[in-house]
Amino acid sequence: MSPLKIKKGSTSHSAYNLRPNFSDVIERHTLAVLVENEPGVLARVIGLFSGRGYNIDSLTVAEVDHTGHLSRITIVTSGTPQVIEQIKAQLGRIVPVHEVHDLTVEGPSVERELAMFKVTGTGDKRVEALRLADIFRANVVDSTLETFVFEITGAPDKIDAFAELMRPLGLTDVARTGVAALPRGN
């Protein structure tokens, strides 16, 4: 386990000691929260963020261990280092929360998001959309004579970039899953 991994209630592995100078710079952090998949657990997590005025930039949740009934919630949040520390400590306090990991400080991690884009158009624009989709390795998952639905997977900024390119080409609908993330290596 990485020395920075914060287990519930731990002191010796706390990141407090490691970053003594709290700054006022807003940082973006990806948190992985393992929770017992019981009714209302997502409401507890979301209620914590709204009740204490924290930001949620993106959130994904699904059961990942069907026998142990554990769900993994991936939250992208932003705040000053002090606020980020508070968010982690507050999450750790929720009774059905088993583990809280800050993937942003616990070493390298990989982040992916899936998105679907519906692009409506004919003629050159339609051809151009298909060409760009190919460059971005987006798949066509539905097509009519006037529309495409592209499926694209990647880091959030890649998806943002693809969305910007599609906009002038007839982008009509977007669906994004939010970030799923895992630490790299062991």
The answer to whether 68 and 37 have CB atoms below 8 angstroms apart is: no
Interacting residue with another protein among 23, 47, 69, 110 (CB under 8 A)? 47
Q: How far apart are CA 91 and CA 72, in angstroms?
A: 13
Q: How far is the CB of 118 from another protein (least distance, A)?
A: 34
Nearer to another protein, 83 or 115 (CB): 83
- Across 42-60, b (16+ Cβ under 10 Å) vs e yields eeebeebbeeeebeeebbb
| CB closer to another protein out of 8 and 137 | 8
Measured from the CB atom, is 77 or 150 closer to another protein?
A: 77
Contacting another protein within 74-133 (CB under 8 A): 82, 85-86, 89-90, 92-96, 98
- Both tokens of 9, joined, read 């209630």
Q: Which among 57, 84, 74 is positioned nearest to 160, based on CA atoms?
A: 57
Which residues are near another protein by CB under 8 A? 8-12, 14, 16, 22, 36, 39-40, 43-44, 47, 51, 82, 85-86, 89-90, 92-96, 98
